[in-house]
Structure 1
Amino acid sequence: MVTVTPLEAELLEIAGSVPDPELPVLTLRELGVLRAVHVRGSDAVEVELTPTYTGCPAVEAMSLDIERALRAQGMREVTVRTVLSPAWSTDDITDEGRRKLREFGIAPPRVRRDRGPVPLELGPTRTREAAADPVRCPRCGCADTELLSRFSSTACKALRRCLACREPFDHFKEL
């Protein structure tokens, strides 16, 4: 078991409060990408960050924002290290993060019951959800939605439309 010092816990809280550059409604803690903070001496710290996917373009901006936040707390040397294992999963998004996504108008990823690989089904671009686990509209809550495009404003999201209120919305894809 890894022991976290009070200073590491405080710095983890500060780094975790940094907003995600692509989804500023979420903090890095709520998104689940901040893994650990390790104090190295009196004014040096190493931060472990796991991107949502290997080619995530926001990693550099996240790293710079974390460095700024921790330097403002007196840390002279801040190193942000990208950690790819274990891989980030949408299961890492906190309940608060899911609530904020919904309020922001983005359907949060569904909670997976098993931790195995996510099945990939190829098919037509426009598809309706299976009744067992639908993606609900974040505006009206209706479960009758359709997939318009597997990609939206970022690679992490898909574009969907509610068939009740007819509004399009982003859905944070399960990974």
Structure 2
Amino acid sequence: MTFDDDWAALKADAQERHSTQMRLNTTGAGRIRPEPGTPARAGRIRALGIRIPATASDRRAGYKVGERYDTGLLSFVLPADDAETYTGRLIEDGTEMIKNFHPEEKDYRPAAAFGHLGLPEPETFVQGLRTISLCPDDLATSEGKYLQRCVDLFAHEFTPGTTRIYVRSTIEPSVTPPPAPASKAP
């Protein structure tokens, strides 16, 4: 699985959903622009280093250009067993995702909201949500070694057997992206 394959699939999904969320694509700074698959924006999200599993469906991504920091958003759905395997490949042994012990109110709107992608905010979920923050520093897991930016990762089992993965990352645009890994093979 390569990033180009992932983004080709994301583009196909976005074209199928070419509806309200695609019309949110604006040029104003500070707005979320859902990823219609254009190479420049795909490159911004790709810079996070998050690989999307082939079994993922309902792939959505956005990028918010801010005055000081940019934010990348990524979300996709996996069968619960695949989601458990996927998060296990990102997280080091002995580290666990935690439950949402302090959920936000239903009207919670962070600076870079998943609501712009037509999704509820994961911080508002009471049941079925697990979360963790990950940074690439010394993260030597099988998927974590590809991570290029710090991310907040949420896994929400919204129906039995089905989990949505949410990824949010704050990006300092003036910082040159790190070099690509020597080997892109999994």
Higher relative contact order (CA 8 A, sep 6+): 2
TM-score range (shorter-chain normalised) is under 0.3
TM-score (norm 1): 0.24
**Structure with greater strand percent:** 2
